[in-house]
Amino acid sequence: MKRKTFVTIAAVCAAFAVFAGCNGSNTASTSTTANSAAATTAVETTTGMSDSGNENGGVAGNLFFKGVWLAHKDSHDGEPVQYFVFNDETSGHTDRVDGTGGVSFSCEQNGTEIMFHFGSADDNTKATFDLGDSTGTFDYGDGNVVTYAFEYMPDLDPDTFETAGEDQGDMSVTAPIFENGVWLAHKDSHDGEPVQYFVFNDETSGHTDRVDGTGGVPFSCEQNGTEIMFHFGSADDNTKATFDLGDSTGTFDYGDGNVVTYAFEYMPDLDPDTFDASALG
């Protein structure tokens, strides 16, 4: 995300522990700057979150402005998971570190609370931020609560940002979710058993192929944001799948109480035009 320097007053820094500007690896240098001049009016940070606004267009009361942040799982020492790319204070997209895509979002910032709408306006994910340690706790619903520690990336430009593989048919930042490409579906979670491949010829058709090479079924589909209607085998079949782009999972309702969740892993080295699971050995 683009280089940003924002203005903060020493008193504000002390009162709010300016998000990612007065913590972590920047604590000593920021505190020294703030304390060395009682009349200081500017503190340059490398992480950039503040609820006091900034000179690059940020609005007072908004933590995020135009820029890029790297989200670590649980703490700043945790695994880097995804980037949050803000176009402005109200919109942007996520992008997974492994380059397998992300999801667009809009948001309403209200101090240390932000309501995100990931994928569509129907999604309501509440995030509560702790400015002392630059963390945000996201409640995705159904008990799925995740904490990220945010690191501002001043040398990354939100206007041009992309991670490796984003242009390779990955789970898209914007609809449709699937395009020409191959995905491996794991049962229940990314740690689950690999079950079958979803091979997309394009946004509307493809076929499945079981991991053991014993075949699959053709399908057509209509993609509508985070919901996809699949027609497996024939146009008479209607299997609704609902996707959570935060963890790349899809829940398939095959009818008669048969509901299955798959975690999708994009396979950039597999060609959908020539794919054959039996040939993978």
- pLDDT, tens digit, 9 for 90 and up, residues 168-223: 334 443 446 888 899 999 999 999 999 999 999 998 999 999 999 898 999 999 98
Same domain, 23 and 145: yes
| Residue that terminates a domain, selected from 113, 133, 152 | 152
Same domain, 148 and 270: no
Domain of 266, in residue numbers: 181-280
Token couple for 174: 């914007």
Residues 6+ apart with CB under 8 A from 10: 34, 35, 37, 38, 40, 43
Q: Which of 38-52, 58-72, 82-96 has the highest mean pLDDT?
A: 82-96
CA 171 to chain centre: 11
Residue 5 within a domain? no
Residue 248 within a domain? yes
| Residue that terminates a domain, selected from 104, 131, 152 | 152
Cα–Cα distance measured from residue 35 to residue 31, given in angstroms and rounded to the nearest whole number: 6
Token couple for 179: 């395009």
Report how many domains make up the chain.
Answer: 2
3 state SS of 111: coil
pTM (predicted TM-score):
0.47
Q: Is the Cα torsion angle 96, 102, 103, 105 positive or negative in sign?
A: positive
Residue 176 within a domain? no
Residue 169 within a domain? no
Token couple for 145: 């609560």
Residue 174 within a domain? no
